[in-house]
Structure formats: C-alpha cells, structure tokens
Structure 1
Amino acid sequence: MCGITGVYAFTENGRVALNRLQGAVASLRHRGPDAGGVYLHGRVGLGNRRLSIIAPGEQANQPLTSDDGRYTVVFNGEIFNYKQLRAELASKGYTLSTASDTEVLLRLYERERQECLKKLKGFFAVAIYDKAEDSLFVARDRFGEKPLLYYKDANAFLFGSEMVALLELGVPQELDYASLYQYLQLTYTPAPATMLKHVKKLLPGQALYIRGGRVQESVWYRLSFDGEKAAQNPMPFKLQQEKLRQLLQQAVADRMVADVPVGAFLSGGLDSSIVVALAASQASSLKTFSVGFPEQPRFDETAYARLVAEKYKTEHTELLLSNQDLYQHLHDMLNSLSEPLADSSALAVYALSKRASQDVKVVLSGDGADELFAGYNKHRAEYRASQGGFAVGAVTKLQPLWEVLPKSRSSFTANKVRQLQRFAAGARLSPEDRYWLWASWLQEEQALALLKPEHRTAAQNRLYHARKSRLLNCISRNHYDMNNVLCADWHMVLANDMLAKVDLMGMAHGVEVRSPYLDNRLVKFAFSLPVASKIDEHAQKRILRETFKHLLPEELWKRGKQGFEVPLLSFLRSEGRSRVNECLSDAFIIEQGIFEVQQTRLIRQALELGKGLTTQTSAWSLLVFQHWWKHSSLK
C-alpha cells in the first residue's frame, strides 16, 4: 500500500511539473510513512511513498526499476497471489531480486503487457514507464479499491493517488459545477468526474497508455453481469451456499497475506462478523476494533461486536466516542479528504483507523456485502415496491401524512416516518427515477436551489445529464429486477462512497483496509445468483445469513440491518455547531459567491431548531465542501 504520483511531459512547458514532483510525493507521506523515492528520466518523473506490508526491506522500495533499466514502476496496492505468480515467472527462467509483489508485477508487465492485470488477485493503482518506448502505462484495479486521479492538457499528463498531489503539481483549480450539483445530492462525486473541472478519476478496470502527445484509453476489466441469465440460474440453493462458503473462506485467507500483523474492523453487523469468524480460524491471535457512541445508544453496536469478539477470543478494542471526541477528530479528518466526501461515518472510520494504527498496518472489513447481497434498507423497499400489493398501496396513498409528520434519523419513530415518506415518494416512480431518489439525500430541485442562480445552468447542463445517464446504465437494461439495483450500487455507491471513504480514512493513518467481499471470483459468483437467493419476504442477504449463521451468536444473525452511522444531528447541534456557523456565515457565503445565502441561512436556522429532514445532511455536506474549498485555496 502506497501513495503514487507522476509526470509525463509533452512539451518544455510541461517539464515544469517535474520540478514540483518532490512536493507532490511529500504531500502523500501519510499514505506511505515508511519510505519514499523519486525517479526522473527525460520527460518522465515517478514518485512513491511506501507503506511496507509485503517484503518490508529496503530492496523493495519504490520507484522500482528492472535490472536492465528499461522498466520502472510505482505501485499502490497488494497482489495476494504474488507467490504463485512468482513461481510461474521462475519456471519461465526469470530471476527476481526482491521478495516483493511489486517486482512480480513489473516482470509480468515486461512479459505480457496489459494482459498481466487479468492474473492479479488483489487491488492496485499502478504506473509503469518503459524507457525504450518512452511510454507510460497507468491502470486501476477491477472495482476501484485504490484511487487514481489524473489531468491532461497540451503540455503534460499528471497523476496521483489523491487530489493533493495534483494540486502540488500545479493543475488548474476550476470548480466543476456539475460535480458540485451531484455532490449536493449524493454526498460524493461519482467517477470519472472530480470536483475540479479538468481533473478526472481513472475508472475501475480502466487503463491509459501515454506515448508522445497521445493518451489512449482501454478497459481491461468489466463486471460480468447478465440479469436475465442470473434470474434463470438453475444451481440449487444448497450448492450455491457451498460455493459461497468456499469462495469467501479463500478470499479471507488471501487477504491475510502480509509480512506484518493483520487485524479486523468489527462493527457488530453481519458482514464484518462473518469475516472475523473466518479470519479467527486462520490466525493465532486476531486483533479486532469497534467504535461506539455511549451517549447515543441508537448508534451504538458495540454490544453485538463484543459477542463476536468473545466467541472467537480476539484481542478486542472498543473505541467509545463522545461528541467532544468527534469534534477533536474533525479538523484532521477534513484535511485528509482528497475531495469533498460527506459520508458522515468517515469521521468514525477516521478515529477507528487512528486507534488501529497503534497495533496493525492491515485490517479486514465487511465492505461490499450489502451491494452484493441486498443488505440496505432501500433494497427492502425496492423489493416491496416491485411486489406491490395492499400494503404498498396504503403507504403510497398516505404520502400527504408522511410529508407533515416529524422525520429524523435520531429516533426510531421519526426514522420510520422518514422511511415511509421516502418509500411512498419512490414507489410511484419509474425504476430509474426511483433509484436516483433513493440514492440521493437531496432531490435535484433542492440541490439546485442551494446554488446561486448564475451557476445553475453550468450545474444542470448536458454533461450532468450524460453523467447521470451513465450511472443509471444498470437500471436501464431490458431485464429489470433487484440485481440491476445491486449492479448500480456496485458501480456508483460502493466505488465512489464506501471504498473512497475507507481508503482515505485508513491511509490517513497508514492503515490498509482489505475487504474479502471484493474478491473478483466472489463478486462474479454473487452477480450470477438469482434475486431469491439474496432477498425474499422474510430476509435480506439471505444466502449470506443462511450459509454462515452457525458461526455467529444467535442475537446477531437474527437482528435486522443497522447502518454504520454517527449521531450527526446531535454533533452538529452541539460541538460541531461553531464550525457550521463559521462555514455558512452570511459574510463568507456572499464573499465566496457559490451558494445562495438565503438557502444557507435557512439551513443554519433549521439546524438550531432541530427541524427539517434534510437539514443535517445539507449542513454536513456544505461544511465538508467549505473546508475543502478553503484548504485547497480555490478561488
């Protein structure tokens, strides 16, 4: 695991960025505190900060150059099957000088070029310079576990693991209003867009080949998903369970590969608990880490996590956070964001990663299971909406009532009203419009109203609609069922919110987060399963629950889904209130010239009164954006 950055200059003016490369590398030190280095040759510069996990000796430091001097690589990630691939290379007569997975990748590329990526089990962002061709190859893993951003103009191609590296290299700092518009709705900016107009994210499974002044795009991996074929899958449920058991056990075993201690995040939910149960059988002593909020019992799952930790005798740590604790982490957490990401649970992941970093460099997580096996509340809602019936009709007809009743995520009753209101609004819509509504925190007209009138045309332009259409591609296919929703979530929510969050928060403290549910063999299998294997009238994540319930305490596998959240409203109305008032003050909003001051004033007032369903999310999204805007010195 590392941070990488680099420059490929097309002109003399482009070479100016080479002088800034050391600064770009330094900006990524948090991603790789163990070592750093720079490679320079002619028009090309590559930089790396290393977190040493496999072959931690100096020989494996990066940039790493082949023995003949032709190829040089910078690599962020892990290849779990590197020992098998190393043996394959040895059988072909290759001699490797280090024990690292980075050199294995370099030699594979030398032999097979882009095709070598298909052999890799793991996650990565990689850049390889070929001195003989004077070419640069850049690629990202299958599902977007490791980030890579890039910028191209007539003078240079620049790339980096985080936006901060590109800012150090001197990219133009022009705000993309279409991205801001999507961010205000979703709380993140879906790839390939970023919050800066000319900076892009490399898509998962995508590669770039740069030579001379040309940049060629290619796709080396696409998610294998055929909804109609999955619906007709004839495999009996018991055989599906056996296959899932084998795949997940192997995925966990693969992700235990490291030359440093491996721990696990344990939320108390089904997904991470299964991972811990399987990992504990493969480790003599497994360290587990949970976070809780004793002042807000509704958001605290530590009791369930403790049951799993006790069952498997892990070395368990509970991090108990108050609103004051959250506030103490706030500034540093916001500084660690590559671009605005307003998933409020990032604050808890940041704090938990900081604590875990005292004991381990690697942690396992349960990310991806909800998107594979229909674990979110919106999946239950989609299932019921598609089934129809009297109850659906009754809830829909009562929409005027749900609109006027108090709604909040902070109490059971108010949260249930919130869910009924969103269900009633979505059940009337087409699948595409329903998906977008239930994926969003603000509706389009609400997000647009937050922007000053002169920016609204730039926000809701043809580019915005093209991006939205691409994100809904899974929903728009001829065959439609729950698997289409899961496909869309996999590409949009998981890749751009969940994985970005755990990467940034973990790497802020030099902690690598690995999820067995993102194993490509497991993912391919999960998307081949019919909807009935994942959700029915009685259960969500049915196959996961039924296959592994014997490993878990009964209290855990019988409970319903509880999202991993922080007590956001309570925090924003107490310790976080001063930051909201500062970022949304009338004077600053007017001087900044982006947002409509009447709207931000209403958000401040509603937050003080504890009113408005969308108030806390809007306030948090704006706070995160404003901090990033100031921290990045945008104008």
Structure 2
Amino acid sequence: MCGITGIFAFNQIGAFYMINLGKSIELLAHRGPDGRGTFVEELIALGHRRLSVIDTINGRQPMHDSTDRYVLTFNGEIFNYKILREQLIQEAGYTFTTDSDTEVLLNAYIHWGEACLLKLNGFFAFAIYDKQKHEIFVARDRMGVKPLLYYKDEDKFIFASEMKAVLAYNVPKEIDWVSVQQYFTLGYIPEPDSIFKDVKKLEAGSYLLINKAGVISKKYYEIPSSTQTKHQHSFEQAAAHVKELVDASVKDRLVADVPVGAFLSGGLDSSIVVASASKHVENLHTFSVGFKGADFYDETKSAELVAKTFNTSHTTFSLSQTELADNILPCLESMSEPFGDTSSLPLFVLSKKVAPSMKVILSGDGADELFGGYNKHRAEWLIKNPNWQIRFAQLIQPVVKILPGNRNTPMGDKIRQAQKLIEGLTLTDAERYYRWCSVFSEEAHKEMFQENIADNEEYKIRKGGILHAFKKNPYDLNRILYTDLNLVLGSDMLHKVDSMSMANGLEVREPMIDYRLVEYVSTLPSSYKINKNGGKQVLKHAYKDELPAEILSKAKHGFDVPLTKIFSKELKAWILDELLSQKFIEQQHVFKWSYIKNIRNAIDKNSNLDESKIWPLITFQFWWKKFMN
C-alpha cells in the first residue's frame, strides 16, 4: 500500500502549481516509507510513496508501460493479479518485466480500458496518464477501501491519497458548513463531500476521466440491494456458501512477499478471520490491545482464547492510561480532516505497536455492516417484531429518560441503549436509522452552532440522499444494511482503518468486504442475518464448528477507549486552555460559548461526560487550529 499524488494542468497557469509536487509527496511519506518516485512533463506531474509488499524490488512507481505512452501511480493491492497476468499473456501476448501487481494493473487498463475495473479483485486508488491523448484516468475500488481526494478548477486537476497532500498545492480552504453539520451529527463527513467546499472524495466504485474537454465521472459499481436477484439457498446452504466465500477471501488476502499477520480483538469477526488464515499460515502472528484498569473496555481474554485455539503467535499490548494519553497528540496530528470515531485512538496505538514487526495485517472490519452486527440492527428487529422487551421499555420509559446514559460503564451503556430504543419507537424508519447513526442530535445544532451555521437547507438535501433507500417499498431490514454499506462502511470504518494504520506505515486488509461476499450476502433474506437471537446469524452458523462457544455467544463490543479516564491534569488543561478557551471560541465563530461552557464544566469536573461527544469536539478543534489558523 502506498500514497499517491498528482496534478494535471489545463494551461500554464495550472502548470505553475506543479512546483508543489515534492511537498505533496513528502506529506505522504508515512504511507510509503520504502521509496519515492516522480514523473513530470510539461502539464502533468505524478508522485508516489511506496510501501513495498509485492515484488519488493521491481515494483517502483510511477510505472511506465513498454511503449512509454502510459504512466501509472497506484495505491493498493490487486489480489488476482496472477490470474489477470496470465489472461493478458494468453489473450494479447503481453510480456512482463516484473512480478508486480502494478505492471498487471497498467497493462489491464491498456488492454481492457475502463472495463478492467470489474476484473480487479482488490483495493485501490490509482491514476493513469495517457501521453498520446493527454488525459488522465483516476479510479477507486468497489468498496472504497483506499481513499482518493481531488480538487478541480479551470486551470488544473489535483488528486492525492490524503487531504493534507491536496492542500500542499495551495488550493482554497473554504469551509463547507454543511459538512461541519454532518460531522457534528454523525461523527464523520460522508463521501463525496469533505470539510472543504472545493475538495471532494472520489466515491467507492467510481472513476474520473479528465482532459481538456472536461471531466467524465462515472459510478462503475453499485452494491446490490436486497430487491435485486435473490439466492434460492436455504439457511444451511447459505451458511456453507458464506464460509466458502470468507475462506476464499482470506486466502486471497494472504498474497504478499512479506509476512501477513492479523488483528485479533476477541470478537466474532476477527476470530473468524484468524480461524481461516491459520489454515494457510503456520504460526500466524496475531495482535490485540487491552487497557489497564478498564475491564469494561478490555477483550484480551477472549482474544487469547482464540489465539490458543488456533495456535497463533499472539501478542497482547496492555496499554496504560499514560500511554494512551501520550498518543492523543500523535493521533490527532495524523488527521487531515476532522474525524470523531473514538476507536481511532486505540487503532492508532495498535498500528503503531504492530508496524515495526509487520507490514500487512488482516482485520474483521465490514462484517457488522454486512451481516447486521450492530446494536441498532438488533433494536430495529425488536421494533419491527413487537415483544416483551419493547413493552417493558415502554413501561419504564419515564424512568429511563431521566437516568444518566453513557458509554463509560456497563450500566451506563445499557441505559444509553435503552434511551435510544425508546426514542426510536416514535420515529419513522428513515429518521430512526439516522438518529441511531448519530452521535449528536440534530436538535443540538441550535444549541451548539452560531445562527449562520445551524439552519441550512443543503444539510436536509444531503441527508435525503443518504436515506434514499428508505423511500422504497416494501420495508426490509436489508435496507438498513444496504445504507450502512454505502454510508458507515466507507465514510467511517474504512476511513478510520486506512488513516490510522497508514499513519504508521501499516497495510490493513479486510476479507469481510470482498465484493463476491458482499454481493452474495446483500441479497440474502434479512432473517438469515438478524432474528430474535441477534445479528450475524448466518455467519455464526457458518463457523459454529470452528470457534469456541464463548466467542459465538459473546455480545457485540465496540473498539472503544476509556477516554475520560486518561484525562490527566495536564491534558485537561491543554483541552480547556487551548481548544476550548473562550478567546478561541469567540475568534473561531463556529460554536456558541454557552454550549462550550457546559462542555468545559463537564470536563473540568469529570462529570456527566459522554466520550462519544467529547472526542469529535477535540478532534475538530485541534484540526481547526492546525489547518485554519
């Protein structure tokens, strides 16, 4: 995996900005510590930082084809490159000078054009420049594992793997206030928008073709919805096929010229990945993280059970409060766009710990969105299938509403979940979904923001676009999973994994979102995934004979961190004096001081703190000071 950047100028004014290529490349150095490459001609400049995983000696970039007409800069991995290589040799007589997937990708585009995208099994973001036509083709993988941001005006087109590498070209930094509202609702900014009005994210399964005539934008891949072709498999048959697909996906993602390990949280998804990978890798290296003095957040015992079951070489990193606190600033420094998911901190630390010994890691990310593993999925099933739990929730509603719900303790978390369930009973399907995806309520915007930000019609339009699947009839729980795959997976989960791992030069591969698995599971009946016993039913059944019973019956546990427990006196002072001071808030003119004052008091007294709301505010304020001051 790597970092890519480039500028395609339409005229000499645009060409002037090519002098910033070197700066942009260096801002991606963490993504590719193994090498640096450039290609520069009159109106085009491409840059690359390399993390060498396949053909570590010969896969240098930007790469030219044998005729020197095409030039490629590529971030990602193509898992079926050997199959495609053989097809190109047999069908068209191509010859290859390296054993890299990079050369296969370049020749695949030359031979098949844009149609090559549907032949690729992997994750990628790449740009190919055609010297003869003077045009550039930019594409992103089906699921959106690898990021690509871009900026375009009348003089130039700019792209890069990260926001800071785009900003290196001195593009305008005009805040998109609708994105700010979305961020302070969901905790992240949904694609294709970004924190800046003129910088966009290329959507998953999309490509751009840019030349002097303009820009052609196309969505070449859509995740199938449950209303499309359904498989006529029984539950047992579906479970067997799911297992075949997961095992094949894991095997594909073991392709590398360097050792491949696995994150092992102790939850169902990572345990399945480890169970499958251990069949192909002797003495598989697995890694988990725990938190000293915070049992509610610690899953290391489950991880160690799985490691013992599959005889892996397991390492547990037990983090102290001091070590977590010491990594807050490096974690924040790695973000070039506000990102409010609290699990970014432990993932950053885990990646930092693993990177010195591994270059490639497998993870279980994506299974919750695909198979229905979140609490909101279970809650939705309960609401649509009235039962004693719903009746009991309605009965105790007056009491639950006034209790302090939070993520900090087992009881506080149960209260928080009950409050969300009760609130959802009165909402429409679409509004309930959006509320359950949200960290902040939309009602809080008027208390939080200055008047010029809080009320925006464009926010409602974007929200409607996110919820478009709910307009279709009849209602089905698969609609929620479809929306999760198109919203939460890419904009939250995959963004987090890529940014936190690549900040430390670590490549993470997600077998659970192989497009073949996603296509099959997406069209299975929702009852195969979620029922009265909870979510991921077909996935659990598929691995019931391999995993310990404790793992199969284990409740869902998010990858959270005891955030407020690590707020030392010095850290609190920094947050209050630097990020949330009255002087800064009034200069910034984003938030109402009355709202921030209440947050300050809660932090200062360590009372009534909701960590899921504190972290997004901290990350936003730190980002603002770094990029906007």
User: How many angstroms does 1:314 deviate by?
Assistant: 1.1
2:427 to 398, 419, 429: 429
Match of 1:93? 93
Q: Distance in 2 between matches of 1:395 and 1:138?
A: 51
User: How many angstroms does 1:357 deviate by?
Assistant: 0.7
Q: Is residue 2:579 matched to residue 1:583?
A: yes
Q: Distance in 2 between matches of 1:75 and 1:555?
A: 42
User: How many angstroms does 1:213 deviate by?
Assistant: 4.6
Matches within 5 A, 1:526-565: 526-565=521-560
AA matched with 2:453: H
Q: Deviations over 1:240-262 (max 9, x none)?
A: 11111111110000000000010
Q: Which stretch of structure 1 is more off in the superposition, 7-16 or 247-256?
A: 7-16
Asked if the contact 1:583/1:623 (under 8 Å) is kept, the reply is yes
Q: Distance in 1 between matches of 2:569 and 2:491?
A: 30
Q: Which stretch of structure 1 is more off in the superposition, 391-400 or 195-204?
A: 391-400
Q: Distance in 2 between matches of 1:438 and 1:312?
A: 36
Quickly say closer, same or farther: Cα 1:423–1:554, change in 2 above 3 A: same
Q: Is residue 2:464 matched to residue 1:469?
A: yes
Asked if the contact 1:452/1:595 (under 8 Å) is kept, the reply is yes
Q: What SS does the aligned partner of 1:475 have?
A: helix
Match of 1:333? 331
Matches within 5 A, 1:287-306: 287-306=285-304
1:280 to 278, 291, 294: 278
State TM-score, norm by structure 2: 0.97
Q: What SS does the aligned partner of 2:164 have?
A: helix
Matches within 5 A, 1:242-253: 242-253=240-251
Match of 1:498? 493
Which structure 1 residue ranges, 5 or more long, are not aligned?
none
Asked if the contact 1:273/1:552 (under 8 Å) is kept, the reply is yes
User: How many angstroms does 1:163 deviate by?
Assistant: 0.3
Q: Distance in 2 between matches of 1:480 and 1:577?
A: 47
Q: What SS does the aligned partner of 1:499 have?
A: helix
Asked if the contact 2:226/2:479 (under 8 Å) is kept, the reply is no
AA matched with 1:126: F
Match of 1:571? 566
AA matched with 2:185: Q
Match of 2:63? 64
Q: Distance in 2 between matches of 1:122 and 1:357?
A: 22
User: How many angstroms does 1:619 deviate by?
Assistant: 2.1
Q: Distance in 2 between matches of 1:397 and 1:428?
A: 14
Match of 2:406? 408
User: How many angstroms does 1:561 deviate by?
Assistant: 1.1
Q: Distance in 2 between matches of 1:259 and 1:235?
A: 38
Asked if the contact 2:408/2:611 (under 8 Å) is kept, the reply is no
User: How many angstroms does 1:574 deviate by?
Assistant: 5.9
1:509 to 492, 504, 517: 504
User: How many angstroms does 1:5 deviate by?
Assistant: 0.6
Q: Distance in 2 between matches of 1:228 and 1:611?
A: 49
Q: What SS does the aligned partner of 1:264 have?
A: strand
Q: What SS does the aligned partner of 1:550 have?
A: coil
Q: Distance in 2 between matches of 1:151 and 1:479?
A: 40
Asked if the contact 2:325/2:567 (under 8 Å) is kept, the reply is no
Asked if the contact 1:11/1:155 (under 8 Å) is kept, the reply is yes
Asked if the contact 1:399/1:425 (under 8 Å) is kept, the reply is no
Matches within 5 A, 1:80-479: 80-91=79-90, 92-227=92-227, 230=230, 233-457=231-455, 460-461=456-457, 463-479=458-474
Q: Distance in 2 between matches of 1:23 and 1:562?
A: 41
Asked if the contact 1:338/1:504 (under 8 Å) is kept, the reply is no
Asked if the contact 1:37/1:48 (under 8 Å) is kept, the reply is yes
Q: Distance in 2 between matches of 1:574 and 1:491?
A: 41
Q: What SS does the aligned partner of 1:626 have?
A: helix
User: How many angstroms does 1:413 deviate by?
Assistant: 1.7
User: How many angstroms does 1:192 deviate by?
Assistant: 0.5
User: How many angstroms does 1:609 deviate by?
Assistant: 3.5
2:601 to 600, 605, 626: 605
Give percent identity, aligned residues only.
43
Q: Distance in 2 between matches of 1:159 and 1:514?
A: 23
Q: Deviations over 1:516-538 (max 9, x none)?
A: 11111000011011111111112
Q: What SS does the aligned partner of 1:209 have?
A: strand
Q: Which runs of 4+ in 1 moved over 6 A?
A: none
Match of 2:8? 8
Q: Which stretch of structure 1 is more off in the superposition, 577-586 or 170-179?
A: 577-586
Instruction: Give the paired residue count.
Output: 627
Q: Which stretch of structure 1 is more off in the superposition, 570-579 or 118-127?
A: 570-579
User: How many angstroms does 1:474 deviate by?
Assistant: 2.2
Q: Is residue 2:592 matched to residue 1:596?
A: yes
Asked if the contact 1:396/1:423 (under 8 Å) is kept, the reply is no
AA matched with 2:431: D
Asked if the contact 1:5/1:165 (under 8 Å) is kept, the reply is yes
Which structure 2 residue ranges, 5 or more long, are not aligned?
none
Asked if the contact 1:396/1:425 (under 8 Å) is kept, the reply is no
User: How many angstroms does 1:312 deviate by?
Assistant: 1.4
Quickly say closer, same or farther: Cα 1:213–1:13, change in 2 above 3 A: farther
Asked if the contact 2:228/2:523 (under 8 Å) is kept, the reply is no
User: How many angstroms does 1:394 deviate by?
Assistant: 3.9
Q: Distance in 2 between matches of 1:342 and 1:393?
A: 34
Q: Distance in 2 between matches of 1:509 and 1:6?
A: 22
Q: Distance in 2 between matches of 1:310 and 1:394?
A: 41
AA matched with 2:292: P
Q: Which stretch of structure 1 is more off in the superposition, 554-563 or 492-501?
A: 554-563
Q: Distance in 2 between matches of 1:265 and 1:490?
A: 22
User: How many angstroms does 1:573 deviate by?
Assistant: 6.8
AA matched with 1:79: I
Asked if the contact 2:78/2:121 (under 8 Å) is kept, the reply is yes
Q: Deviations over 1:272-310 (max 9, x none)?
A: 001001101100221111000121000000000000111
Q: Which stretch of structure 1 is more off in the superposition, 152-161 or 392-401?
A: 392-401
Q: What SS does the aligned partner of 2:527 have?
A: helix
Q: Distance in 2 between matches of 1:610 and 1:4?
A: 43
Q: Distance in 2 between matches of 1:572 and 1:216?
A: 49
Q: Distance in 1 between matches of 2:197 and 2:254?
A: 39
User: How many angstroms does 1:539 deviate by?
Assistant: 3.1
Q: Distance in 1 between matches of 2:228 and 2:243?
A: 25
Q: Deviations over 1:181-206 (max 9, x none)?
A: 11011110000010011100000001
Q: Distance in 1 between matches of 2:107 and 2:542?
A: 40
Asked if the contact 1:227/1:484 (under 8 Å) is kept, the reply is no
Asked if the contact 2:373/2:536 (under 8 Å) is kept, the reply is yes
Matches within 5 A, 1:18-57: 18-57=18-57
Q: Distance in 1 between matches of 2:62 and 2:232?
A: 49
AA matched with 1:6: G
Q: Distance in 1 between matches of 2:547 and 2:397?
A: 39
Q: Distance in 2 between matches of 1:501 and 1:452?
A: 29
Q: Distance in 2 between matches of 1:539 and 1:617?
A: 24
Q: What SS does the aligned partner of 1:14 have?
A: helix
User: How many angstroms does 1:390 deviate by?
Assistant: 4.7
Q: Distance in 2 between matches of 1:576 and 1:481?
A: 46
AA matched with 1:141: D
Q: What SS does the aligned partner of 1:539 have?
A: coil
Q: Distance in 1 between matches of 2:368 and 2:582?
A: 40
User: How many angstroms does 1:479 deviate by?
Assistant: 2.5
Asked if the contact 1:108/1:116 (under 8 Å) is kept, the reply is yes
Q: Deviations over 1:409-436 (max 9, x none)?
A: 1222221111111100012110110001
